[in-house]
Amino acid sequence: MTQYQSKPVSKEGWVEWSREDDAIWHDLVTKQLAIVEGRACDAYLQGLTLLDLPTDRVPQLPEINKVLNETTGWQVEPVPALIDFDRFFDLLANKRFPVATFLRTRDEFDYLQEPDFFHEIFGHCAMLTNTDFAAFTEHYGKLGQLATPKQRAYLARLYWFTVEFGLVKEEHALKIYGGGILSSPAETLYALEGSAAIRDEFDIQTVLRTPYRIDIIQPKYYVIETLSDLFKISQCNLLQQTDLAIEAGLLPPLFEPKESVHVE
């Protein structure tokens, strides 16, 4: 459950953000822009340039959609704070990225469990201007439409360790492309510089079998060689890979279990 509720959206796609919302957006964006410089991958930084996000106010959905449509044909779709898997996969399969129209409170600046407007727009939309990333995300949505509930539970780990928390090699250095990292000031620093963080090469079976929790800084990240690897991953038989992972079972978690949480 979430403590947040999305703001209403007009037929034209506009949200009436408050002055406090604008102030929170300003503080989030200016802080995070300084942190991602030199840590985010080139494709993300190029996408930020294309989006040209305002810093003095919260951007509007039509402004984002214009850029996405011109680059990869994607759009953002306003949704409530929480949506079910059926709608999530359907949106991605149709090149529409779900965006909840609420902003985090100041108490949760550094890390937020729920995906808010800053997470979706600042964290993800820049990467959606990249053709390889966009194609991977669309294909993931189509896979989810075909998958069984059990397969979806394992596919969720692929999304988590790529779209949300993925790292990529770039000129012999590690850079970030995952939106869950790039929208979190604390995790942006930890993912690349934290001494306790584990950074392993991407292996599809290992990724599909790695447990995660949504309410903690990630203990482990997976590294792809180039962003084009995402497109290559999407072209393999992922549902077959998922079935193999289900047969093998989950790897031991690297965190303490959360009470009352059941992991498939």
CATH class of 19-248: mainly alpha
Whole-number pLDDT of residue 261: 43
State the Cα–Cα distance between residues 160 and 58, nearest whole angstrom.
26
Would you say 2 and 81 are in contact if contact means Cβ atoms under 8 Å apart? yes
What whole-number percentage of the chain has pLDDT above 70?
A: 97
Look at residue 201 and give its three-state secondary structure.
strand
Would you say 129 and 66 are in contact if contact means Cβ atoms under 8 Å apart? no
Inter-axis angle of helices 238-248 and 149-159, nearest 10 = 100
State the Cα–Cα distance between residues 221 and 113, nearest whole angstrom.
18
pLDDT digits (tens, 9 = 90+) for 80-120: 878 999 999 999 999 999 999 999 988 887 777 788 999 99
Would you say 145 and 90 are in contact if contact means Cβ atoms under 8 Å apart? yes
Per-domain boundaries in the chain: 19-248
Whole-number pLDDT of residue 217: 94
Would you say 121 and 48 are in contact if contact means Cβ atoms under 8 Å apart? no
Q: What is the pTM of this model?
A: 0.94
State the Cα–Cα distance between residues 69 and 65, nearest whole angstrom.
6
pLDDT digits (tens, 9 = 90+) for 169-183: 999 899 999 999 999
Q: What secondary structure does DSSP assign to 88-136, as a single string?
A: HHHHHHTTEEEEE-----GGGSS--SS--HHIIIIIIITGGGSHHHHHH
Q: What is the pLDDT along the chain (264 residues), one digit of tens a residue?
A: 457 889 999 999 999 999 999 999 999 999 999 999 999 999 999 999 999 999 999 999 999 999 999 999 999 999 987 899 999 999 999 999 999 999 998 888 777 778 899 999 999 999 999 999 999 999 999 999 999 999 999 999 999 999 999 999 999 899 999 999 999 989 999 999 999 999 999 999 999 999 999 989 999 999 999 999 999 999 999 999 999 999 999 999 999 877 544 444
